[in-house]
Copies of this chain bind each other. A is one copy, B any other.
Amino acid sequence: MIIVKVGGGEGINYDAVCDDIAQLWREGQQLIFVHGGSHRTNQVAEALGHPPQFVTSPSGYTSRLTDRATLEIFQMVYCGQINKTLVERLQRRGVNAVGLSGIDGRIWQGPRKKVIKVVENGRIRVLRSNLTGKVTQVNHSLLQNLLHAGCLPVLTPPAISFDGEAMNVDGDRAAAATAAAFRADELLILSNVPGVLRQFPDENSLISQISADQIECVSKEFAEGRMRIKLLGAREAVTSGVRRVVLGDARGRQPILRALDGLGTVIIPTQAEEAA
Contacts and interface: CB of A to CB of B under 8 A. Distances in A.
A98 B104 contact: yes
Contact of A160 (B44, B83, B88): B88
Given A149-B142, A149-B145, A166-B84, A91 B79 contact: no
A101 B49 CA distance: 27
Given A80-B77, A80-B79, A149-B145, A87 B72 contact: no
A254 to B, nearest CB: 22
A133 to B, nearest CB: 14
A91 B164 contact: yes
B75 A91 contact: no
Copies in the complex: 2
Contact of A99 (B87, B91, B101): B101
A165 B88 contact: yes
A182 B141 CA distance: 25
Contacts of A97: 104-105
A129 interface: no
Contacts of A79: 79-80, 83-84, 99
A84 B101 CA distance: 8
Interface centre among A79, A80, A103, A151 (most CB of B within 10 A): A80
Contact of A85 (B72, B78, B87, B151): B72
A105 B95 CA distance: 9
Contacts of A72: 81, 85
Interface of A: 44, 47-49, 72, 75-81, 83-85, 87-88, 91-92, 96-101, 103-106, 141-142, 145, 149, 151, 158, 160, 163-166
